[in-house]
Amino acid sequence: MIGLVVRHSLPLKGFFSVAFLLLVSAALYLFRNRKQFFGYKGDPGDTYASANLRMWMVILILIHAIVITGIMIFEV
């Protein structure tokens, strides 16, 4: 019983693979439309720095999500 490892990871690998593809496609969509989503709007309270900061906050979260999901594909 000590050396017995039951691996039911095929459904989990499939789930994380689909999630990985969705995250990568969302990243590509955000990259293609970054000017529309994160560009400088010209409002009185908006600056180029705040527009750049909004974009990089989303990029950092997205990169971390892609890396963690990619690791989970190989760990399960």
Task: Look at the pTM and tell me if it is higher than 0.75.
Answer: yes
Domain ranges of the chain: 10-75
pLDDT number for residue 72: 92
Is 2 within 8 Å of 18 (Cβ atoms)? no
Burial (CB < 10 A; 0-12, 13-18, 19+), residue 51, is: middle
pLDDT in tens, 14-67: 999 999 999 999 999 999 999 999 988 888 888 999 999 999 999 999 999 999
pLDDT number for residue 44: 87
